[in-house]
Amino acid sequence: MGGSYFVLRLNNISDEIAILITLVLLVLPPISIYLLLIRPRSLPTLLAYLSFIFSLGISYLIIPSLQNGFFNQILVWLLPILEITIVIVVLHSIIKSIIRYRANNQSEGKNFLELTKMSLEPKLGDGFVLGAILTELNVFYYLIVGCFKRISIIENEKVYSYHKTSQIKMIVIVFSILITLEAIFLHILIQLWSDVAAWIFTILNIYALLYIIGLYNSVRFLPHIVSGGQLIIRLGYQSCIQLDVKNIDCIKMAKDKGGIGEKIPKDTYYALLNIDSPQYEIYLKEPILMESSYGRKKYVKTVIFRADNPGKMIEEIKYKMTSLSND
């Protein structure tokens, strides 16, 4: 790579030499990684893919602008192929793992998203990458399936909705109109400067529209749950916390927040839209891990939420607290 840097900057270098060096920069590192590290030592083949991505980045820095014509032509058709390949590999891994879990009778009571997490977690870890993939799958899963599938209720499981008295439906309608108008207006405006930038901006707006519609469907499809000694509080696929009823110290009426701009304490899980008024606040004995979209996590000691029938839900939680404390 060091030699290529200086050779490509020599005077009167031919186009054939520039193309040859470009191919060597792109092909030699991943092949070397595969032959020297992956094959003899049984390392993950992902290293070869990562080394190829690294080679692309280094080549972009090494090849001067006067000799990067061939490199740019490669990127035009190579990047879409890489994206399609990644999607195919991920989908193949998910489908293969789901078939394996079902064959081993390990998928009982688990939906597609839960099986996907189980199959990808050993390979990607429980971090940002897995969280980002699951968030994108959640968007399209609830965008499509959430429109047709009913809420499945397990025996001895009490569910409590929270979307009927929420402002989320109004928010979705208003923002859908605003996003559509903004996409049309700014697409025309940006197109005067760049067609590519205009379409990128339009695609982002379309994704934002799909995201909020999928979020609304997930809010309808993912209610709060009281089952056995467990309590699950959710805000659609945006966030979720599962806690042991025995870990609840007390439940109090929540204080009204000052508004959208008011800062929420770091150790508080605010399981509702800022435009909605909170109803109850759960104080925990020990901090519990709360999970949100894109793999974000934090420990919280209080949970603020609302429900369509809060009195009945609180009554059920207190009943569980009493019965479990007597055991």
Name the phi and psi angles at 9, rounded to 5: -105, 10
Residue type, 216: Y
The answer to whether 268 touches 241, Cβ cutoff 8 Å, is no
In DSSP notation, 182-215 reads HHHHHHHHHHTT-HHHHHHHHHHHHHHHHHHHHH
Beta strands 268-270 and 297-305 are parallel
Which pLDDT belongs to residue 287? Answer: 92
Report which DSSP code applies to 264: P
Give the C-alpha separation, 231 to 223, whole Å. Answer: 11
The answer to whether 172 touches 213, Cβ cutoff 8 Å, is yes
Give the C-alpha separation, 49 to 46, whole Å. Answer: 5
Which pLDDT belongs to residue 281? Answer: 92
DSSP lists the bridge partners of residue 234 as 240
Give the C-alpha separation, 305 to 284, whole Å. Answer: 14
Name the phi and psi angles at 68, rounded to 5: -100, 15
Which pLDDT belongs to residue 136? Answer: 82
Which pLDDT belongs to residue 242? Answer: 92
Those residues whose C-beta lies under 8 Å from the C-beta of residue 215, and which sit 6 or more positions away, are 139, 142, 168, 172, 236, 237, 238
The pLDDT averaged over each successive group of 10 residues in the chain (327 residues) is 82 82 85 82 71 82 79 76 72 68 57 69 70 81 72 64 88 90 87 80 87 89 88 91 91 73 80 88 92 86 92 90 77
Residue type, 299: Y
Those residues whose C-beta lies under 8 Å from the C-beta of residue 39, and which sit 6 or more positions away, are none
Which pLDDT belongs to residue 157? Answer: 65
The answer to whether 193 touches 187, Cβ cutoff 8 Å, is no
